[in-house]
Amino acid sequence: GAVVSQHPSRVICKSGTSVKIECRSLDFQATTMFWYRQFPKKSLMLMATSNEGSKATYEQGVEKDKFLINHASLTLSTLTVTSAHPEDSSFYICSANPQRGYEQYFGPGTRLTVT
C-alpha cells in the first residue's frame, strides 16, 4: 500500500527557534500534500494544502509566515514552524493524495514540543 513517512517523529525545541518537518510519499507521486494539526480532544484541523511547484493554500486563521510550506517535488513537502512558541506544541500530521486518487495516505505524525 501507499506509504507516507514523516521526519522527525518527535522534536523538542526552544522557544524562538525554527523547526522543519519533512513529509515524503515513498512509493507514489503526490501532486497534493496536506498538513494537519491535531489538538487534544479535537479533530484533525487542516492547516494548508501543498501543491507541487506552486504556493501552498492556507486555511483561514493559519499564519503563512509562521508555518512555511514547501512542496519541492512530487514526493516531498516540508513544513517549517518559524519562531516557535509553546502554543505551537502539537501533533502535526501530513497526508498525500496520489495522482488520480481519492484517498489520502497519512504520515505517522510529528510530535512537536516547544519549551
Partner 1 sequence: DQQVKQNSPSLSVQEGRISILNCDYTNSMFDYFLWYKKYPAEGPTFLISISSIKDKNEDGRFTVFLNKSAKHLSLHIVPSQPGDSAVYFCAASMYYGGSQGNLIFGKGTKLSVKP
Positions that interact with partner 1 (CB under 8 A) = 4, 6, 32, 34, 42-44, 46, 49, 91, 93, 95, 97, 101-109, 111
CB nearer to partner 1: pick between 13 and 46:
46
Torsion of CA 65, 52, 45, 9, to 10 degrees: -90
Amino acid at 1: G
Rounded to a whole number of angstroms, the minimum distance from the CB of residue 10 to partner 1 is: 9
Rounded to a whole number of angstroms, the minimum distance from the CB of residue 80 to partner 1 is: 19
Joined grid coordinates for residue 8: 522527525
CB nearer to partner 1: pick between 67 and 105:
105
| Paired sense of beta strands 110-114 and 10-13, if any | parallel
